[in-house]
Amino acid sequence: MPNVAEPDAAGARGTSGIIEGLSERLQAVNCRIAEAARAAGRSPDDVRLIAVSKTFPPALLRTAYGAGQRDFGENYVQEALDKMAQLDDLDIVWHFIGPIQSNKTRPIAESFDWVHSVDRAKIAERLSAQRPAEREPLRICLQVNLGAEVTKGGVSPEDVPALARVVRSLPRLQLRGLMAIPEPTDDVRHQRERFAQLRRLLDSLALRNEGVDMLSMGMSDDLESAVAEGATLVRIGRAVFGERIRLRDGAP
């Protein structure tokens, strides 16, 4: 059995405890995004909020949906499939943002709209081969490992152009941009430097690749820095749903 987050993260507090206040938290996050965008001279409409719902039960996604949220991010395949089955009546845009094992590419290719964590050619090839013909091409962001952190996935910055060429050559994938998860730091200057580095990589990629314009960067603690540096997709978990309970060793 895959390790599903069944006794859900909400368990300790009770799902109803989190549902209460969820739409206010969502609104507060949307305000943070809008303020950061305006401060940077950008339109708030150019930044899309992805609510990262890993470990949280379907009832919370349904509540967030009722409050207007459409994009949701998930890290674990089996957990996501269970939620999709229960939320089948909603028009959700599903983003896969977790590490990808090559034996899990099929359900990702079949069920998600976006994948943010492609970091090697083999995964890209499998996703393209397994994407059903009747679905739109799978939107892809390449995950970049900016700080050469050994514990983290992601293609190194030097290898981005070659991997981008592979993805562009695959018929059932549509390359849309880059994603990064920089090492956490409270130092705003350091946050911004990392995000700026990803933006420069995207700028140079975009010169040769039309339609590659998405920067997936920024989480609960650094979304302002990310938006200031050009984020178009921010992936926000805790600020929307509250603290996660760690369900597995090493689960983020």
Ligand X SMILES: *Cc1c(COP(=O)(O)O)cnc(C)c1O
* DSSP line for 190-233: HHHHHHHHHHHHHHHHHHHSTT--EEE---TTTHHHHHHTT-SE
CA-to-CA distance for 151 and 145, rounded, in angstroms?
Answer: 10
Please choose, out of 38-46, 126-134, 148-156, 231-239, the segment that lies near ligand X by the rule CB under 6 A. 231-239
Residue 47 CA, distance from chain mean position? 13
Q: Judged by CB under 6 A, how many residues of this single chain contact ligand X?
A: 13
97, 109, 214, 217: which one binds ligand X (CB under 6 A): 97
CA-to-CA distance for 244 and 51, rounded, in angstroms?
Answer: 13
Which residue is closest to ligand X by CB?
237
CA-to-CA distance for 5 and 56, rounded, in angstroms?
Answer: 8
30, 63, 69, 75: which one binds ligand X (CB under 6 A): 75
Cβ closest to ligand X, residue 157 vs residue 252? 252
237 near ligand X, rule: CB under 6 A: yes
Taking the alpha carbons of 201, 206, 212, 215 in that order, is the dihedral positive or negative? positive
CA-to-CA distance for 146 and 155, rounded, in angstroms?
Answer: 8
235 near ligand X, rule: CB under 6 A: yes
58, 107, 220, 245: which one binds ligand X (CB under 6 A): 220
The three-class DSSP label of residue 61 is helix
- Any idea what the Cα angle at residue 140 is, between residues 245 and 8, rounded to 5°? 15
Instruction: State the binding string over 29-58 for ligand X (x if CB under 6 A, else -).
Output: -----------------------x-x----
58, 107, 147, 252: which one binds ligand X (CB under 6 A): 252
Cβ closest to ligand X, residue 208 vs residue 238? 238
**Selection from 242, 237, 232, 244 nearest residue 72 by Cα:** 237
Q: Which of residues 174-213 bind ligand X (CB under 6 A)?
A: 181
22, 37, 61, 236: which one binds ligand X (CB under 6 A): 236
Cβ closest to ligand X, residue 168 vs residue 199? 199
238 near ligand X, rule: CB under 6 A: yes
Please choose, out of 12-20, 168-176, 204-212, 229-237, the segment that lies near ligand X by the rule CB under 6 A. 229-237
C-beta separation of 167 from 122 below 8 A: no
219, 226, 228, 231: which one binds ligand X (CB under 6 A): 219
Report in angstroms how near the CB of residue 235 gets to ligand X at its nearest.
4
C-beta separation of 140 from 176 below 8 A: yes
Beta bridge partners of 51: 72, 236
131 near ligand X, rule: CB under 6 A: no
Residues that bind ligand X (CB under 6 A): 52, 54, 75, 97, 181, 219-220, 235-239, 252
